Amino acid sequence: MIRVNVLCEGITEKLFVSRILYPHFIEREIVVSGSSLDGGFTYGRLKYNIIEWLNNDQDAYLTTLVDLYGMSKKYPGYKDSKHLAPVEKVLAIENAVKQDVLSSPNLHNHKFIPYFQLHEFEALLFSDTQMMEDWLSLDLPIPKGSFEAIRNAFETPEHINDSPLTAPSKRLEAVTNKRYDKVEDGIIIAKDIGLGKIRQACPHFDSFIRTIEHLGSKL
């Protein structure tokens, strides 16, 4: 078995790993296991945890499931990539973080695969706006077509922008009058949508999943 530890932004991402990614990868003899950073962390704390996990479990790979939204300017590659389009920006930051981590003199395990979510977890939910509307409208008066209108304004769900007012989660809060529950609603909607549909709609996320899948060929 190939093992992959996942440092997650928070509890929602950790549950996403255990309930949605784990069943997919276990069929390919890859075991993914999430650990929550509980949000609000600095790059210094993230890097420290990355190095600690890599060194303490040298037989396993390590990846991250961390939001691009709200990322500090102190992340490697952030300032230099600010002018780039979303996908190019996140790739530049991932590469810069990888170089920074792998150049650490106290690192003894180089099986590091950085991944940052464009722009946050909620972007994945816009892969199926009807599913979002069906679930959230069970208890809330959701204006019909609200989520579809948001999705149609962007090239992909991953392009929904990252300002404090218009990030994916903020748009969800606006439509639901702040009654969207990130953990309970988010995981249920993602599971109902299904990994396949999310991958079709979100190319950067799909590339991440394919990278992990390819680890199985090393068995």
Q: Over the stretch 90-104, which tens digit does the pLDDT of each residue have?
A: 999 999 999 999 999
Find, among 53, 48, 75, 37, the residue nearest to 4 by Cα.
53
Reduce the DSSP state of residue 50 to 3 states and report it.
helix
Euclidean distance between CA atoms 134 and 188, whole angstroms:
12
**Residue 38 and residue 105 share a domain:** yes
Residue 166 C-alpha from the chain's centroid: 18
| Range from 73-77, 203-207, 213-217 carrying the lowest mean pLDDT | 213-217
* Sequence letter at residue 8: C
**129-144: average pLDDT:** 93
Predicted confidence band of residue 216 (pLDDT cuts 50, 70, 90): confident
**pLDDT at position 218:** 65
**pLDDT at position 118:** 96
**pLDDT at position 219:** 59
CATH of the domain at 24: 3.40.50
Half-sphere exposure of 83 (CA within 13 A, CB side): 1
Euclidean distance between CA atoms 33 and 77, whole angstroms:
27
**Residue 114 and residue 101 share a domain:** yes
**Residue 148 and residue 53 share a domain:** no
**Residue 110 and residue 142 share a domain:** no
78 phi and psi angles, rounded to 5 deg: -65, -50
**Residue 132 and residue 37 share a domain:** no
**pLDDT at position 76:** 97
Half-sphere exposure of 167 (CA within 13 A, CB side): 16
**Residue 97 and residue 63 share a domain:** yes
Higher-pLDDT residue of 136, 139 = 136
What single string gives the DSSP state of each residue in 97-122?
A: HHHHHHT-TT-----EE--EESS-TH
Helices within the chain (DSSP H only): 11-16, 22-26, 43-56, 86-102, 122-125, 129-136, 146-152, 168-175, 184-193, 195-201, 203-214
How much is the mean pLDDT over the chain?
Answer: 95
pTM, entire model? 0.95
Q: Over the stretch 49-84, which tens digit does the pLDDT of each residue have?
A: 999 999 999 999 999 999 999 899 999 999 999 999
Half-sphere exposure of 45 (CA within 13 A, CB side): 13
**153-173: average pLDDT:** 92
Count of structural domains within the chain: 2
**169-176: average pLDDT:** 93
Q: Which two tokens stand for residue 162?
A: 């990252």
Q: Over the stretch 10-19, which tens digit does the pLDDT of each residue have?
A: 999 999 999 9
**Residue 163 and residue 86 share a domain:** no
Q: Which two tokens stand for residue 106?
A: 């106290």
**Residue 133 and residue 96 share a domain:** no
Domain carrying residue 149: 122-195
**Residue 126 and residue 61 share a domain:** no
**Residue 179 and residue 90 share a domain:** no
**Residue 73 and residue 18 share a domain:** yes
**Residue 110 and residue 32 share a domain:** yes
Q: Are strands 30-36 and 116-117 parallel, antiparallel or unpaired?
A: unpaired
